[in-house]
Amino acid sequence: MTSGISLITTLLLLLSAAIGGGAIANRFKLPSIVGYIAGGVLIGNLMSNFINHDIVSLIADNGITLLLFALGIEFSFHKLRRILSVVAWPTVAQLLVSFLLVLLILVSFSLPFITAVYLAAAAALSSTAIVVKVLSEKGELETVPGEIATGWLIVQDLAVIPILILLSAVSGVSNEAMSLSGTIGAVFLALFKSAILITVLLYLGKHGVPKLLNVVAGFKNRELLLLSTIGLVFFVGLCTYSIGLSVSLGAFLAGLLIAETSQNHAIFAEIRPLRDLFAVVFFVSLGLALPFGAMVSSLPIIMSISFAVIVGKLVIIFFLLRFLGYHTKTSFLTGLYLTQVSEFGFVLAHQGVSSGAMGASHGVILTAVTFVTILVSAPLIVRGNQVYYLFHSWLKKFPRIIKSPKEDVLTDEGLPISDHVVICGYGRVGKYIGRALQMANVGLVVVDYNQHTIKEVKEQGIQTVYGDPADKGVLDYAQVDKARCIVIAIPDRHTQELIISNAQSLNRHIKIMCRTHHEEDRGHLKSLGVQIIIQPEFEAALTIVAKLLADFGLTDEEITGKMQRLKIEHGVG
């Protein structure tokens, strides 16, 4: 087969695997990455003879570089400063404990120490791409567990730098078979050289890179901006490679430099299509490296490690957050969101094998564990609240072990209030409702499981209950049986159903108002007995329509008629 035909055949098979696998994954609401890898496994085992693996390896290497560069651009130091005081030390604690736990398990399986280090380092990290994507689709990024998980992931992303530095140093040491003292010296030398390089790069990032990009941007030529950016990526990668570190680390650092410039959004827009193409090929190539025979023979260890990672990280994060005083639900959901191995595990598997630090069979194990944990965790995140309530009664035992002084002691008497409004969830929506009721001198009780929110609301003189609004005992303490109305400002459908059921069992005459993000949920909520359903996006559209039509000279009566027609078509008129 000629080289030209070989290239075309290889690319056609890779793209076919990506399209087919991605479409199937999307159909089953799984991350696209899972579909890409599965497609690679299929063609790798069925059509390996038609694939030029040298070409795949070359494209995949560039895919890793651009993938980490894009991650660096998306990294936000501003966001890191905002959440650093809350999640910095528990995240570091989780990384260390998870690393040591998995390392001990792997050593017990008689895996080589360097291989175990790579596997444990990957297992300690969680997937920013998977968690943020799924939570964004659910509309739960700004919930308490969503915000904590996002902050946790940002700190983990920052930890990628020392992890890459240390693993690069360890790889070099393993290849030279040094003594213990020599190993320690080599690691500290790598850290010292890296510190100098990062200091120089950060100085250039603050003073040199912005000026360079301003000059390039002044030409108003997209091609020059793209070429200059790619050149910067490979220049920084060459610098890191020259001191014995990986090109991937250089790409990530280059992304961090550009993230602080005013051109970062324009550069990301230019680089994203190229990044996506190369990254997809990289994920498909991982599937090519997963032969059925090797996976079947290693299946017991793959499943054991995957189970240990998922359960271990969930337990570690749960207890860390309980120790900090977070509610059981917040602690459990955050831990559940972060159970998977990061897609960075794929990068480490590739780097470990290519550097000779681990064998190909161990690279298969790391890739497979990353694949399995992502495959399992994605539906767990989607159904996080259902999973929580499945274990709710069992988890209630743990607050007695790690008791938070912030938790309310619920009594049979309940709060001294009646004929009031109970607001479940005091976030972006609930706080405006509460403020309006305050101004109207209407009695209200706020129920929320965010202790920071409860503290702020108490300072405003509003009666509060710190607990899960879906818990019948919590609603009873909030005197739902004596309330006139309950407002459910929580977006999760499963939690909404539990609140509705418990509220009606306490007070069958209570008026229920509920928000929803999805039009298809309206009929279901109506059937449960919700009298008023508010869809924030639709209400926002009505406000925009009213202002827009007024600019075109329509009278108030005409505008009201048009809005009423929209409400009728939407099923709320």
Which CATH number fits the domain that encloses residue 448?
Answer: 3.40.50.720
How many structural domains is the chain composed of?
Answer: 2
In angstroms, the CA 353 to CA 359 distance is: 6
Residue 406 lies in a domain: no
Higher pLDDT residue, 275 or 331? 331
Q: Sign of the C-alpha dihedral, residues 496, 502, 508, 509?
A: negative
CATH of residue 154? 1.20.1530.20
Band (506; pLDDT cuts 50, 70, 90): very high
**Reduced to 3 DSSP states, what percent helix, strand and coil does the chain have, rounded to the nearest 5?**
75, 5, 20
Residues 357 and 472 in one domain: no
Residue 558 lies in a domain: no
Residue 415 lies in a domain: no
pLDDT at 81: 61
The backbone torsions φ and ψ at residue 143, rounded to the nearest 5 degrees and listed phi first, read: -75, 170
Flag whether pLDDT at 140 surpasses 90. Answer: no
Flag whether pLDDT at 559 surpasses 50. Answer: yes
pLDDT tens sequence across 101-127: 998 988 888 888 888 888 899 899 998
Per-residue pLDDT, averaged over 52-77, amounts to 73
Most confident region among 48-57, 200-209, 501-510 by mean pLDDT: 501-510
Helix axes 299-323, 113-124, angle to 10 degrees: 50
Per-residue pLDDT, averaged over 338-362, amounts to 81
pLDDT tens sequence across 79-89: 556 566 678 88
Per-residue pLDDT, averaged over 535-546, amounts to 87
Flag whether pLDDT at 95 surpasses 90. Answer: yes
- Residue 260 C-beta-side C-alpha neighbours within 13 Å: 17
Strand partners, 532: 513
pLDDT at 2: 64
Flag whether pLDDT at 541 surpasses 60. Answer: yes
Q: Are 457 and 464 in contact (CB under 8 A)?
A: yes
Which DSSP letter does residue 448 get?
E
pLDDT at 53: 76
Residue 414 lies in a domain: no
In angstroms, the CA 280 to CA 291 distance is: 19
Residue 194 lies in a domain: yes
Flag whether pLDDT at 413 surpasses 70. Answer: no
Residues 288 and 230 in one domain: yes
| CA angle (326 as vertex; 323, 328 as ends), nearest 5 | 95
Residue 554 lies in a domain: no
Residues 57 and 188 in one domain: yes
Flag whether pLDDT at 339 surpasses 90. Answer: yes
In angstroms, the CA 387 to CA 563 distance is: 40
Residue 38 lies in a domain: yes
Residues 366 and 453 in one domain: no
Whole domain around residue 471: which residue ranges?
421-534
Residues 337 and 481 in one domain: no
Residues 147 and 263 in one domain: yes
pLDDT at 83: 60
Least confident of 195-199, 431-435, 484-488: 195-199
Higher pLDDT residue, 72 or 548? 548
pLDDT at 244: 64
Residues 111 and 241 in one domain: yes
pLDDT at 186: 65
Least confident of 223-237, 326-340, 388-402, 530-544: 388-402
Q: Looking at the whole model, is its pTM more than 0.85? A: no
Residues 293 and 433 in one domain: no
Residues 316 and 437 in one domain: no
As a whole number, the mean pLDDT across the chain is 82
Task: Quote the percentage of the chain above a pLDDT of 70.
Answer: 87
68: part of which helix (H) or strand (E)?
Answer: helix 53-74
pLDDT at 239: 80
Band (100; pLDDT cuts 50, 70, 90): very high
* Residue after which a domain boundary falls, among 376, 391, 406: 391
Flag whether pLDDT at 129 surpasses 90. Answer: no
Residues 384 and 453 in one domain: no
Residue 227 lies in a domain: yes
pLDDT at 405: 43
Per-residue pLDDT, averaged over 496-500, amounts to 93
pLDDT at 22: 87
Residues 386 and 523 in one domain: no
pLDDT at 465: 92
Q: What is the CA radius of gyration of the chain?
A: 27
Flag whether pLDDT at 18 surpasses 80. Answer: yes
pLDDT at 314: 94
Per-residue pLDDT, averaged over 427-443, amounts to 90
Per-residue pLDDT, averaged over 145-174, amounts to 77
Residues 384 and 462 in one domain: no
Which DSSP letter does residue 49 get?
G
Higher pLDDT residue, 147 or 308? 308
pLDDT at 422: 96
pLDDT at 212: 83
